[in-house]
Amino acid sequence: GESVGLHLPTLSVQEGDNSIINCAYSNSASDYFIWYKQESGKGPQFIIDIRSNMDKRQGQRVTVLLNKTVKHLSLQIAATQPGDSAVYFCAVPTRDTGRRALTFGSGTRLQVQP
């Protein structure tokens, strides 16, 4: 089955700097990856996704990079703002027959210092 791990439980950055949050996955057959943001007191919120046939995908101030060789993906946040403070999870869909679920990493808490 899948397992997903994040490299750092906490990341502290200065406002305006770029943030990089890393994630490793175990199943080389994984073909779809998602990043979620969870603010305090709220449920996870979809940020950006990427398919395995891509190396990079950009959104608004966010970029996800996928390195299939080492089974690693990262979320880059440009010009980090206080509103970016949250816990960030990477997730991969479970591939059990007929089942729809996500396997989540343990999360990285991003703290933005003013």
Partner 1 sequence: EAQVTQNPRYLITVTGKKLTVTCSQNMNHEYMSWYRQDPGLGLRQIYYSMNVEVTDKGDVPEGYKVSRKEKRNFPLILESPSPNQTSLYFCASSAKDSLGTEAFFGQGTRLTVV
Residue numbers of the site for partner 1 (CB under 8 A)? 32, 34, 41-46, 49, 51, 89, 91, 93-94, 98-102, 104-107
Are residues 81 and 15 in contact, defined by beta-carbon separation less than 8 angstroms? yes
- Which C-beta is closer to partner 1: that of 15 or that of 96? 96
20, burial (CB in 10 Å: exposed 0-12, middle 13-18, buried 19+): middle
Are residues 35 and 88 in contact, defined by beta-carbon separation less than 8 angstroms? yes
Are residues 56 and 64 in contact, defined by beta-carbon separation less than 8 angstroms? yes
- Which C-beta is closer to partner 1: that of 19 or that of 44? 44
CB of 40 to partner 1, least distance (A): 11
Alpha helices in the chain (DSSP H): none
- Which C-beta is closer to partner 1: that of 14 or that of 106? 106
- Which C-beta is closer to partner 1: that of 32 or that of 58? 32
CB of 54 to partner 1, least distance (A): 13
CB of 57 to partner 1, least distance (A): 13
**Beta carbons within 10 angstroms of residue 112's beta carbon:** 20
CB of 17 to partner 1, least distance (A): 27
CA Rg value for the chain: 14
